Amino acid sequence: MKNLDDVLGEGVRGRYVLVRTDLNVPLDGETITDDGRVRAALPTIEKLTSAGARVVVTAHLGRPEGAPDSRYSLAPVARRLGQLLGSEVALAEDVVGPSAHEVVGGLAEGRVALLQNVRFDPRETSKDDAERGELADRLVELVGDSAAFVSDGFGVVHRKQASVYDVATRLPSYAGGLVLDEVEVLRTLTGDPHRPYVVVLGGSKVSDKLGVINALLPKVDSLVIGGGMAYTFLAAQGNQVGDSLLQQDQISTTKRLLDEHGDKLVLPVDVVVADRFADDANTQVVPADAVPAGWQGLDVGPRSVERYAEILGSARTVFWNGPMGVFEFPTFAEGTRGVARAIAESEAFSVVGGGDSAAAVRTLGLDEQRFSHISTGGGASLEFLEGKRLPGVSVLEGEV
């Protein structure tokens, strides 16, 4: 696929470049609590502005219902992006309306404008090709048909949306540095990774990870399970899990996986349980097969961390997606911290698969440089490893 170097080589001074980024950051009111995705967007934007391009950024935030909602305004993002760039980022008050035309029309060479949350327009996420196409046409009108499109929001390339897919069919299109790096790293994992190859999966629900579990089990040497979904596996072994998160409808599926791949699946041997879902709950560490009635597992225990760390210590390739417990509560963060440290201290080529895992690395104060790659797209990285077609990547490769 054509990339950022290609469009820079063609020359962009004075030219409009529409850039789709992933700026879907967590907010506390108007305060960004983790600006990792904003920082990840900087290199591509800075290369374009340094070359004199007029950069128009599209992005989404949260899940507004296809209409303006002040809770999901990109205003905090525009401010933070401007701080990091060292120059003001003009924010349009709409997506393709009068404000967008005014802001984009007045954009100088080497400067950046940010359109308002693209999901404020219902056509962005429409399942109707014609409706999405209408929005894509309006976006092209904003920047002119001599503009270029750079796709640099890896967190959305698994979505067939107007600003991700349809615009790329209407303008000369290029992969930004972030998307290119993500695809290259994930292709390393799906090709012939160095072994032992260990995957660590956490998170709440087995059903959310079932596709990638089925895809990876034949390929990995060990698949370590943590988080809420571990209790469905434990229940499938006949264990009592108390009030822990349990997907009853996945019991037969997890039992089949254990029967077929029990030599590769690694489950917790102990867990931290609580009498209620709260950071100040009463807690105890119990064997994974002996969760008391009325208690719920909210983290893997210390012996589990030791076991996981031993496996990770000998790995040469590691992919990690999903926390080991409710890491947002300090009381239940030690499992995730321990696994993250074990990965960071290993000599393996290590990939953190975005989402809550990437947030945990930063929230727990771990050194990001100790990991080979931290993805910006949890869902996209999982679908890539699952072998699914990612529309936002396919269109860049000319597969329309």
Rounded to the nearest integer, the mean pLDDT of the chain is 95
**CA–CA gap between residue 265 and residue 248 (Å, rounded):** 19
At 338, list the tokens.
Answer: 């321990």
Active-site residue numbers? Answer: 37, 205, 355, 379
d(CA 41, CA 379): 18
Q: What is the percent of the chain where pLDDT is above 70?
A: 100
The reply to whether 297 sits in an annotated binding site is: yes
Q: Spell out the residues 6+ positions from residue 238 whose beta carbon is closer than 8 angstroms to its own.
A: none
Please tell me whether 61 is known to bind a ligand. yes
| CA dihedral for 279, 282, 285, 286, sign (positive or negative) | negative
Q: Is residue 23 marked as binding?
A: yes
**pLDDT confidence of 362, banded at 50, 70, 90?**
confident
**Residue 194, annotated as binding a ligand:** no
Mean of pLDDT values over 183-189: 93
Mean pLDDT value across residues 122-132: 97
- Identical fold between 4-180 and 191-386: yes
CATH superfamily for domain 191-386: Phosphoglycerate kinase, N-terminal domain (3.40.50.1260)
Is 238 labeled as ligand-binding?
Answer: no
**Domain assignments of the chain as residue spans, ordered by start:** 4-180, 191-386
Q: Once rounded to an integer, what is the mean pLDDT over residues 134-152?
A: 97
* Cα distances (Å, whole numbers) of residue 89 to 113, 138, 193, 282, 323: 5, 21, 41, 48, 34
Pairwise CA distance, residues 345 & 70, whole Å = 42
114 band by pLDDT with thresholds 50, 70 and 90: very high
Is pTM, for the whole model, over 0.85? yes
Cα separation values, 98 from 95, 102, 105, 157, Å: 9, 6, 10, 28
Q: What is the DSSP string of 251-270?
A: HHHHHHHHHHHTTTEE--SE
**Rounded-to-integer distance, Cα 139 and Cα 101, Å:** 10
Q: Out of 53-67, 146-160, 344-358, pick the least confident.
A: 344-358
Looking at residue 394, its pLDDT comes to 96
pLDDT at residue 376 in the model: 84
Residue 270 CA neighbour count, 13 Å, CB half: 15
How many angstroms separate the CA atoms of 104 and 114, rounded?
Answer: 9
Which of 167-181, 188-202, 307-321, 343-357 shows the lowest per-residue confidence on average (mean pLDDT)? 343-357
What span, in angstroms and rounded, lies between the C-alpha atoms of 96 and 93? Answer: 9
373 is in an annotated binding site: no
The two beta strands, 148-151 and 112-114, are unpaired
Is the omega angle on the peptide bond into residue 218 within 30 degrees of 0, that is, cis?
Answer: no
What is the DSSP code (8-state) at residue 107? P
Is 316 labelled as part of a ligand binding site? Answer: no
Q: CA–CA separation, 43 vs 356, rounded Å?
A: 23
Q: Does domain 4-180 have CATH number 3.40.50.1260?
A: yes
296-300 and 283-287: which strand pairing? unpaired
